Amino acid sequence: MGGLSRPGPWKRARVLTATALLLGLLLLLHAWIPNRIWNIGSLVEAFLPWFGVFIPVLLAGALWRRSAVAVVALLLPVVTWVSLFGGLLTDKSHPGGDLTVISHNVDADNPDPTGTARDLAASGAILLALEEIDTQAKPVYEKELAQAYPYHSVQGTVGLWSTLPLSDIRPVDIAQDVGPLGDSKPAADKWADNRALRATVATDHGPLAVYVAHLGSVRVNPRGGFGTGTRNRNAEALAKAVAAEQNERMVLLGDMNGTTDDRALDGITSQLHSAQDAAGNGFGFSWPATFPMVRIDQILTRGVKPQSAWVLPATGSDHRPVAARLDW
């Protein structure tokens, strides 16, 4: 009996080849993944850089099977991933910068708000934005930051501390104005739920509009998929506030509960630029603090130029602080 001939290198590992092509198409066409079912599109975009870890796995399988066609197929995900994220692998920071800003979700369950406040005070930042300020922890932050930051305002659960004078401070309503039955929310409820503020910072180069925001949380569960309803509504309201801002120079600091790849934030990211993307070194992952996997804490700018951007060491929070130096 004649022996069975093995498939040639251009016919082996068809499953590996198909998987490589599907991975490449996912990276290339992620914006076309619909959100109608469980917000799958936004979920994929939240972790989009991590799909690159499958490339070396597939490459190892292709080499083990000695499949030339699988190796060639891998060119699609490799080229697409590099075009999307290759720029983040280089250090784009530059020396200089007139204004150092920090944003930090300090975590309502932070077991050491005193230590967190002292770490932030020692950073030397000119502007310090805090999100998720618990009512009981608010006096702690105000006390520990008072010496380094003579000017500050806390509106609801977000606050801004500054070494420069602040004016025109006001809450920004990014929540729904109308309840589920069509009734307007009481003013007291709006104030208690306030998750955004706007202030004008007086600098030597003129006024700078600064926004601090904390968009609604997202949840992943087996029955409802990727729950982003509140976050998306907050993002739409914040995008309108940004569009209405008259000052050409502005900075948005906060926990967006989404990455800049997430289509739900397009209304914001189409108007502002990410400091990490422009002047960072690496991906700038900020959550969770123990092993950061996504960058949901953002510093977004307009009319000022980021010179460098980085992530600070972990504090007592479940987020890591993010920082940037800005130039006029």
Task: List pLDDT tens digits, range 100-142.
Answer: 999 999 999 999 999 999 999 999 999 999 999 999 999 999 9
What is the value of pTM for the model shown?
Answer: 0.89
Model confidence pLDDT, tens digit, residues 49-59: 999 999 999 99
Q: Is the pLDDT confidence value at 2 over 70?
A: no
CA gap 297, 321 in Å, rounded: 8
pLDDT at 4: 53
261 alpha-carbon distance from chain centroid: 9
Q: Are 310 and 103 in contact (CB under 8 A)?
A: no
Crossing angle (nearest 10°) for helices 138-145 and 113-121: 30
Q: What is the pLDDT of residue 190?
A: 41
Look at residue 178 and tell me whether its pLDDT is greater than 80. Answer: no
Secondary structure E strands in 132-224: 151-155, 158-162, 166-171, 196-203, 206-214, 219-221
Q: Which of 10-24, 180-194, 228-242 has the lowest mean pLDDT?
A: 180-194
Q: Give the model's pLDDT for residue 252.
A: 98
What is the predicted pLDDT for the residue at 5?
55
For tokens 């007592």, what's the residue? 316
How far, in Å, CA of 155 to CA of 141, rounded? 14
Give the CATH class of 99-327.
Answer: alpha beta
Name the residue ranges covered by the structural domains of the chain. 14-89, 99-327
The confidence score (pLDDT) of residue 181 equals 31
Collapse the DSSP code of 238 into the 3-class scheme (helix H, G, I; strand E, B; otherwise coil) and give the result.
helix
pLDDT in tens, 66-95: 899 999 999 999 999 999 999 999 999 999
- Residue 6's pLDDT is 61
Backbone angles phi, psi at 130, to 5 degrees: -120, 140
Query: What is the DSSP secondary-structure string of 280-313?
Result: BBS----BSSSS--B--EEEEEESSEEEEEEEPP
Residue 122 DSSP class? T
Phi, psi of 270 (to 5 degrees): -75, -15
Task: Please state, in angstroms and rounded to a whole number, the distance separating the CA atoms of residues 103 and 93.
Answer: 18
